[in-house]
Amino acid sequence: MDISATLAAISTTKEFASLIIGRKVDSAVTEKAIELQGSIITLQTGILEMQAQIQSLTQEKLDLEESLKEAMTWKSEDEKHELVTLAKGVHVIRAKENQSNSQSEVWYCQSCWEKKIKSTFQYVTQDYGGTHYSCSTCKTKIYDHSDTASFGL
């Protein structure tokens, strides 16, 4: 039985109790009918509160399902990537070897990745000491010493 059918049944019982109270009957019957009316009101209130709780639990369940789906999606994305050390103290996240080709290799910022944000390092400039990149989200800068400007041909 759903909640609205239950509430309708309670309403019918409440009307019956009111009918008895309105009639000239035995005072003990009237007293019991008044008591019954009080119980019915308590039941109605209880059911309405339960209905609100069910709605709130249903919403919570939907929210949790959504969070779980997001976490699973991120986990599968995370498993396709790895932390790589470009130079001493310089780390980036990139697709695992078998899933990337070096021509279009994208580097992601490690600290953004830990916050589940896929933020790429953008090329800034290159000098004889290496190449500068900056995270497009948190603006962290890295300096890749392994990729220096050549001295001209």
Does 142 help bind Zn ion (rule: CB under 5 A)? no
Which residue in the set 77, 138, 147, 148 belongs to the binding site for Zn ion (CB under 5 A)?
Answer: 138
Minimum separation from the CB atom of position 135 to Zn ion (A): 3
Task: Return the number of the residue (33 or 112) whose C-beta is nearest Zn ion.
Answer: 112
Does 33 help bind Zn ion (rule: CB under 5 A)? no
At CA 38, angle to CA 17 and CA 26, rounded to 5? 45
Does 109 help bind Zn ion (rule: CB under 5 A)? yes
DSSP letter assigned to residue 23? S
Does 92 help bind Zn ion (rule: CB under 5 A)? no
Q: Establish how many alpha carbons lie within 13 A of residue 122's alpha carbon, considering only the half-sphere containing its beta carbon.
A: 8
Distance set, CA 141 to CA 63, 125, 151 (Å): 36, 11, 24
| Interface positions with Zn ion (CB under 5 A) | 109, 112, 119, 135, 137-138, 140
